[in-house]
Amino acid sequence: MQVITIVQTKGGSGKTTTAMLLASAALNLGRVVTLIDGDVNAQLGRWRDSFELAAWEGAQKPNWPESLSILSPPESVEGLLSLLDAEEARGVDLVVIDTGRAPIPTPRTSV
Ligand SMILES: Nc1ncnc2c1ncn2[C@@H]1O[C@H](COP(=O)(O)OP(=O)(O)O)[C@@H](O)[C@H]1O
Ligand SMILES: [Mg+2]
For 14-65, what is each residue's pLDDT tens digit? 999 999 999 999 999 999 999 999 988 888 889 999 999 999 988 999 999 9
> Is 71 part of a structural domain of the chain?
yes
Q: Beta strands of the chain (E only): which ranges?
A: 2-6, 33-38, 68-71, 94-99
C-alpha distances out from residue 17 to 33, 34, 55, 99, 109, Å:
15, 15, 20, 11, 26
Q: Which atom of ligand 1 is nearest to the CA of 20?
A: 17
| CATH assignment of the domain containing 92 | 3.40.50.300
Q: 101 alpha carbon to ligand 2 midpoint, in Å?
A: 8
The pLDDT of residue 105 is 55
Give yes or no for residue 14 CB within 6 A of ligand 1.
Answer: yes
Residue 70 CA, ligand 1 centroid: distance in Å? 19
Q: Is residue 80 assigned to a domain?
A: yes
Residue 60 lies in a domain: no
Quick check: is 20 in a domain?
A: yes
Amino acid (1-letter code) at residue 8: Q
- The answer to whether residue 108 is domain-embedded is no
Q: Is 16 in the pocket of ligand 1 (CB under 6 A)?
A: yes
Q: Is residue 78 part of a domain?
A: yes
Range of the domain at 82: 2-51+65-99
Is residue 100 over pLDDT 50? Answer: yes
Length of the chain: 111
Total number of domains in the chain:
1
Q: For residue 56, tell me if it sits in a domain.
A: no
Q: Can you give the C-alpha Rg of the chain in angstroms?
A: 14
Does residue 37 sit within a domain?
Answer: yes
